[in-house]
Chains A and B, each alone.
Chain A
Amino acid sequence: MLSMGGLRLSLVRFSFLLLRGAFLSFLAVTMTKLAQWLWGLAILGSTWAALTTGALGLELPLSCQEVLWPLPAYLLVSAGCYALGTVGYRVATFHDCEDAARELQSQIQEARADLARRGLRF
């Protein structure tokens, strides 16, 4: 119980720090990408913290709480999978321009001959 209270406190403090960072960045002329990320994380993070710690006084069903508690970890893992999948897919479908290379080689020959005819000393 005590550790739960300490956890709740540190979560609240963490959310506060995030919000403060986001707000300070927001004070800049326009919102930077960093600020946008901090805002997004702060909103999601504090929602999650409020729900899991019961700070809102909501009594969620046990099954919901069981899903909610490890949700950030699940999201992190799926983000990682998405990143790997996207990069893998793009690498696999990266177009190899064999024709372009062949075309360039033949044009280089043509260019050399034409330039030599015009008196260029390479």
Chain B
Amino acid sequence: MASLEVSRSPRRSRRELEVRSPRQNKYSVLLPTYNERENLPLIVWLLVKSFSESGINYEIIIIDDGSPDGTRDVAEQLEKIYGSDRILLRPREKLGLGTAYIHGMKHATGNYIIIMDADLSHHPKFIPEFIRKQKEGNFDIVSGTRYKGNGGVYGWDLKRKIISDGVLPCCPGWSLLGSSDPPILASWDYSRGANFLTQILLRPGASDLTGSFRLYRKEVLEKLIEKCVSKGYVFQMEMIVRARQLNYTIGEVPISFVDRVYGESKLGGNEIVSFLKGLLTLFATT
């Protein structure tokens, strides 16, 4: 699919096109990865399929935080298969979600940035809907939501649904499974849950606060990352809260969220405490 698309629009003609219509939108997908050797080729394949079927100009920026499982090797193979103008590898040694976005954005050439998880819980088929929604309302941010319309989840038991929908995020992250991986990484892969308490306390104007499947105008994301101070679970939430504070407009698209860590719903006291701390900090400061 992709090779067909690439051969139809060789590099030279695309450049000419860009010169002729400098306003043409380009979408940069930031994929922070850590030990995603299995999932990375699949998510990239789905992304390429989704973009080329709807004729959208795109690039995929893979930011690997030094995974020991060979994610980088797979990423290099993908770069060869799909071309280095579509797949950009920007690995680094540092860890952390906010800095991963900053790092990725430095290399992004698109005027829109899409942020998503690389673990297949976010399906790229929703991206064309995000883009349509953005154009429809000229939004600064479009956020995927599991809590509206046809949105939903797969693989959550009753307890997780209650906690996620009720008070606390669901987070069967590495740190909860007793692994020694840096807890901050758990934030983008496993922290889930819009919740009643947060809605009541922060009234953020978006229904899914900790979901991390979103589309931003590039300059908006830059501004937000500069403003945000939280780490871990609270980061995605703070982005939306600050966005509301800065009067950015937010559109929402229902998404289905297919959780791949079924049955691992454990909640650690540490995660609950750090979430509540973050929530109260936002409550008192925004």
Contact = CB atoms under 8 A, between A and B. Distances in A.
Interface of A: 30, 32-34, 37, 83, 86-87, 90-91, 94-98, 100-101, 104, 107-108, 111-112, 114-115, 118-122
Given A32-B286, A33-B286, A111-B41, A95 B78 contact: no
23 contacts: A32-B283, A32-B284, A33-B286, A34-B283, A87-B166, A90-B196, A91-B158, A94-B156, A95-B150, A95-B152, A95-B153, A97-B152, A97-B257, A100-B152, A100-B154, A101-B155, A104-B258, A108-B42, A111-B41, A114-B45, A115-B81, A121-B77, A122-B74
B252 interface: no
A37 B201 CA distance: 9
Contacts of B155: 101
Q: Which of A34, A91, A98 has the most CB of B within 10 A?
A: A91
Contacts of A30: 245
Contacts of B38: 122
Majority secondary structure, A binding face: helix
Interface of B: 37-38, 41-42, 45-46, 74, 77-78, 81, 120, 123, 147, 150-156, 158, 161-162, 165-166, 196, 200-203, 245, 256-258, 282-286
A83 B196 contact: yes
Given A100-B256, A107-B46, A94 B201 contact: no
B45 A100 contact: no
B200 to A, nearest CB: 8
